[in-house]
Amino acid sequence: MDPPFSYVGLDVFGPWEVITHCTRGGQANSKRWAVLFTCMFTRGVHIEVIESMTSSSLINALRRFFSIRGPAKQLRSDCGMNFVGASRELKMSENEQTAVREYLLERRCSWVFNPPHSSHMGGAWEHMIGITRRILDSMLLKDRYTQLTHEVLVTFMSEVTAIINAQPLVPVSTDPEFPFIQTPSMLLTQKAGNLPTPPEDFSKKDMLQCQWKRVQALSETFWNMWRKDYLGTLQSRRKWFHKHRNIKEGDIVLLKNKQVKRNEWPMGIIVKAIPSTDGLVRKVEVKTVQHRTTKVYHRPISELVYLLSSDQTM
């Protein structure tokens, strides 16, 4: 079995404004983002704050992550986020993309991208990033939290990491001989128990006093929202337990597309089925013809509507 954080899913979220320095005319603000790394084995997370959406900031974040958690064998991300493929979204030049690619190759780390429109394939890390982003944005984008500094944000992200890594991985046992709850933090640190919280009761007025109290007040808010939005959803999934026929080449399908009007989904034919390591097909290449133009799309099967098998079309 590989060590923790050998296989990692990652995503970027933000930005939020922080105070960089104060001047006579007021204060100067700048933006910050966060990179969330999720371990595929332990479900533990690691968050790094970056100052810009550039290859240099990403390499620095990867360097910090590798220095603390050790080198990873594989990184996974969706095509909507990755710094290498989404050059239009991140406005990165070809040289910046090459710098990230060469950095990973030197460390023998591969980067795997999920197909477009398939965020569900991210599994654990996409679910984690979705909830974490929603909670943090609802907190940090409000006016009362605009007095953030870089130090407050970095410390707060460490507190958020501790809260997420304290989630239970297995059902809580009622056996008094096994009182401990298995968590990602226990697997990562080999220590039982979590970081104790300060005994004080932090209120809103503490937000504008000293920085460490501001961090604790933010952490309490995050914990309350995390407890309501995530911890209550920890239950077994009851779908996708039954196997169905694999989609294969020659099958006729409809492509789901939220951007077109109803009854205008394009019809296509499967030209290539891409099986996973367990032999199940989850990704395909679909050829469509619209307005006398032939296009080939790379799509997950969840974005398709199965119509006819290749045997019925012959």
Q: What is the pLDDT of residues 190-227, one digit of tens each?
A: 777 666 666 666 665 655 567 888 888 888 888 888 87
What distance separates the 2 farthest-apart alpha carbons in the chain? 78
Give the pTM: 0.69
DSSP β-ladder status, 7-23 and 281-290: unpaired
Cis peptide before 275 (omega within 30 of 0): no
Q: State the pLDDT confidence band at 86, using cuts at 50, 70 and 90.
A: very low
Q: Tens of pLDDT along 206-215? A: 555 678 888 8
Return phi, psi of residue 167, to 5°: -70, 145
Residue-wise pLDDT for 25-56, tens only, equals 666 788 899 999 999 888 899 999 999 887 78
State how far the Cα of 152 lies from the Cα of 145, in Å rounded to an integer. Answer: 11
Greater confidence (50 vs 20) lies with: 50
Predicted local confidence at residue 181, as pLDDT: 66
Tens digit of each residue's pLDDT (9 = 90 or more) over 165-177: 887 776 554 455 5
- Residue 144 · residue 207 · CB < 8 Å: yes
More confident call, 76 vs 238: 76
**Between 273 and 234, residue with greater pLDDT:** 273
Backbone φ/ψ region at 305: left (φ over 0), alpha (ψ -120 to 50), beta: beta
Question: Quick one: pLDDT band at residue 88, thresholds 50, 70, 90?
Answer: very low
Encode pLDDT of 106-146 as tens digits. 777 777 777 655 555 656 667 777 888 888 888 887 655 55
Q: How high is the mean pLDDT of the chain?
A: 76
Alpha-carbon distances of 69 from 5, 65, 73, 226, rounded to whole Å: 7, 6, 12, 25
User: Which tops the pLDDT comparison, 114 or 295?
Assistant: 295
